[in-house]
Amino acid sequence: MRAQSTFQKQTDFALADPENLIRVENHADGVVIRAAHDNFSERRKRSFIRYLAAEGHIPDCYQSEEYGGGALTWVVDSFWLAQSPALKRQTGQLMQRVLLLTGFLWLVEMLVVFATSH
């Protein structure tokens, strides 16, 4: 079994079937899996947990169904998806630039249309 310190503290997954966003958090006392939607059956959850352990995202002790050696918590919430203020500001600035460029190109196009119509 790998030492707990060798695992990433946090790993994000975007799954297509079923569509879901998942964050895996490794803590000293266990693992927390946060899902944005409640669309995983118990069988699918167990399969995903075995995959995480096999790929080295969480300790190997979680491969068995009893999760011996640590606590595993599966939480359904979308609060972790909230955007940071810096990301919102950056996105707003990008959208302003796109709108200004679009307006400028539209204005140039209108000037060309009027210039060629006379």
- Tell me: the pLDDT tens digits for 39-69? 999 999 999 999 999 899 998 888 776 655 5
Q: Are 24 and 13 in contact (CB under 8 A)?
A: yes
Within 8 A by CB and 6+ apart from 118, the residues are none
Q: What is the pLDDT of residue 1?
A: 43
From residue 21, give the alpha-carbon distance in Å to each of 15, 17, 48, 58, 64.
6, 11, 13, 17, 24
Write down the mean pLDDT value for the chain. 85
Query: How much is the pLDDT for 97?
Result: 97
**Rounded Cα–Cα distance for residues 23 and 32 (Å):** 8
Nearest to 12 by CA among 100, 73, 81, 82: 81
Taking only the tens place, the pLDDT of each residue in 78-96 is 777 776 677 788 889 999 9
